[in-house]
Chain A
Amino acid sequence: MVSLLRNQKVRNTLLQVLFVGSLAAMILACVMIARRNLAEQGITSGFDFLFKSTGWDVNFSLLPANANDPYWWFFLIGIINTLFLGTTGLVLATIVGTIVGLARTSSNELARLLGRTYVDIFRNIPLILQVFFWYAVITHLPTPRAAHEAFGMLLTSRGLYVPVPNVGGAALAAAMLAVIAAVALPVWLGRTSRLSQPLGERLGIQLTAAATALASGAVILALGRSPGVPILDFPSLQGLNLKGGLRIPPEFSALAVAIAIYGGSYIAEIVRGGFKAVGKGQMEAALSLGLSPWRVFTLVRLPLALRAMLPILANQYVWLMKATTMGIAVGFTDFFMIVALTINHSGQTLEVIGILMAGFLAINLSLAAVFNRINRAIALKGNQLRG
């Protein structure tokens, strides 16, 4: 027996079995105790509860929802809310981060100082504190009767009311596509015909493409609008309440603003790091080839910096997606809040925790997959030395 234990191979196998076995035993014990406790409360395990109606409502949903809807529908709403808040926060944070990051790398001392102050302040204050702060600010806005008005938007304690076009959903989507095409088409044309045509001709084609796309968008909007009403539906006070326009609830705007400001300060540092990683020689070489400073930026500095930034940016985006769970602090029904509410109401603790883990794993993995693809697509091909 002792000699068997002296054998390295036997010992290693034994160790591994012991390690994995004791972990598995611990988890198994926990699950069994939990099942017994839940059974004592009269909760049957299994996923049948997913098809029962919830009996409670959510305060924010992009899909139609009411208290009669089943649990699985609410989980779906939660995931969509999380993704919607995450994407909004991600886009806003990227915009803020890019501006601040560029200020931090600018050759202008004052702009650098400004950028640095921004990053130092907002990165060092916890996100949840910022969420609470913006939530307090928004809920302390005046009531609808005394709302602040700016550009047709109404700022009230019940949320932000923005004007929306009086157009059918399909037409709106088509018009949005047209706007995207108006931006994307010239870029694509510019890339495919970079050197084959003279600059003037190319610019002409690009402008025509953009104008055509925009015009078709306008036509779609005009055709799709509901007859007899103005093209933009402005929110206005009627009686004690506000009518018209789109209401953005305070929970959502507080979270989006906080994530944009806090996430922006992190992304600014990533942007700065990316630009710093571009070798000075690259820029000097480009300048000595006679490229204008603008073209040095768009053709050399930016593409190289983007490549350096992207892997870190991907991590930051995953983090931002997870940060949407702060929603529960102000009562935004994101995925995690739905999970917490479901545990409270249905008691199906184990199953719901499983759904929570699976949900976040899916979000993280798909985000990572998307970024890996982008990363591979834009990576420099071949094994060239860079420095």
Chain B
Amino acid sequence: MEMVVVAPPAPGRVEDLKRRFFATPLQALLSLISLAIMVFVVWKLLNWAVFSAVFTTTGGPEACQAAAGACWSVIAARWRIILFGLYPFEEQWRSALACVAVVVMTVLSCIPAFWTGRRIALVWGTGAALYYVLMKGGVLGLPFVGEEAWGGLALTLFIFVTTCLIGFPLAICLALLRRSDLPWISRTTGLIIDGVRSLPLISILFTFAVVLPFALPQWLQGDKLYRVILGSALFFSAYQAEIVRGGMQGVPAGQEEAAMALGMSYWQRIGRILLPQAMRNALPATINQFVISFKETSLVVIVGFFEILASGNAAYGTGEWRFAYVEVYAFIALIYFVFVFSLSRYGAFLERRMSVGER
């Protein structure tokens, strides 16, 4: 006998909505409240940001202030300060190009095809060198621009990239030292890592920027910018070291024993067996750490750097645009959001991709 499976009649649109949002009185109430909040917020936001907003600079600040909505002309008038800070006006294309170089480098290193040690080193090395030459100049006919004039988005990206470039290898070193068989080495490293982790980043930045010059000989002090980057890299590496160590603990002990049995040396075991697998385990947490440290670059504003947040403060802080702080902060928040959100989405994608591979 033939079995005939008859599909239930497809629910109509109204029934579907009813089932999804109004199944019980409580559900209906929840849906209505959520809907009300959404409509209210979206309407208010659209009204402020689009419908009653001023986009042109023709009227000047006065016409803008009179408008009921957002005053986007402050961005039109001041975007160069926000993005490039105090960088010389005629040279700002270099700053923009340097930002593009860093973004391209980051995007390239997100592609799995570049995930071999050599390729990633190549990408990051070229990117960093390109950035440095473009920003600093002094060669190839580019006028010299000192670090003290760097600012805005370019400085934020520079601090982020150098923090990761220095912090990542340091983190691997710290993680390896911490799992060393020699008790005093692992204990001391553990003390350093835990000590750094228990301190707030601001206090470390402050120490490196303000206090360290007292404690270092003259020839070792270097520029304040590089000291702060070093502090931020140290902080990053303390957290990242624990992530890497967690990844290493996820590698079965048999892997290393097998490598030992094959007669591999310590560095071969670490470089070819342990680290590749550990990094794979640690990847989601690592991306998360990148996201966090990108957000934390904004803290250098406290030790007096002209990164994007400080340049934003300066953009509305002077005279005529004093009222337009919400627009400036919204613009900076949007920039951060674009970077951080895409990074964290990428992290989520990686997590899915890897969990598919495991099953």
Contacts and interface: CB of A to CB of B under 8 A. Distances in A.
Contacts of B301: 128, 329
A126 B217 CA distance: 35
Nearest to A103: B34
A124 interface: yes
Interface in B28-50: 30-31, 34-35, 37-38
A126 B329 contact: no
B351 interface: no
Nearest to A347: B214
A110 B200 contact: no
Contacts of A132: 309, 313, 329
A127 B329 CA distance: 12
B295 interface: yes
Contacts of B38: 110, 113-114
Contacts of B217: 33
B123 to A, nearest CB: 25
A90 to B, nearest CB: 15
A13 to B, nearest CB: 9
Interface stretch (A143-151, A200-208, A357-365): A357-365
Nearest to A38: B214
B324 to A, nearest CB: 10
B34 A328 contact: no
A16 interface: yes
A364 B203 CA distance: 15
Interface stretch (A47-55, A66-74, A133-141, A303-311): A133-141
Interface residues of B, number: 48
B107 to A, nearest CB: 18
A125 B299 contact: no
A110 B31 contact: yes
A356 interface: yes
Nearest to B192: A23
Interface size class of chain A, counting residues whose CB lies under 8 Å from the partner chain:
35 or more
Contacts of B182: 12, 15-16
A339 B203 contact: yes
Contacts, number: 130
Contact of B188 (A23, A114, A356): A23
B30 A110 contact: yes
B333 A128 contact: no
A140 B323 CA distance: 8
Interface of B (DSSP majority class): helix
A325 B203 contact: yes
B20 interface: yes
Nearest to A339: B203
B79 interface: no
A328 B21 CA distance: 47
A108 B184 contact: no
Contact of B195 (A20, A328, A357): A357
Contacts of B323: 140
A364 B184 contact: no
Nearest to A31: B215
Given A114-B37, A126-B298, A133-B329, A349 B30 contact: no
Nearest to A19: B185
B216 interface: yes
A286 interface: no
B346 interface: no
A177 to B, nearest CB: 34
23 contacts: A16-B182, A16-B183, A20-B184, A23-B188, A33-B215, A34-B214, A108-B27, A108-B31, A110-B30, A110-B35, A111-B31, A124-B341, A125-B333, A126-B295, A127-B295, A129-B298, A133-B333, A322-B200, A323-B200, A336-B200, A336-B206, A353-B207, A360-B198
Interface of B: 20-21, 27, 30-31, 34-35, 37-38, 182-185, 188, 195, 198-203, 206-207, 210-211, 214-217, 295-296, 298-299, 301-302, 309, 313, 323, 325-326, 329, 332-333, 336-337, 340-341, 344
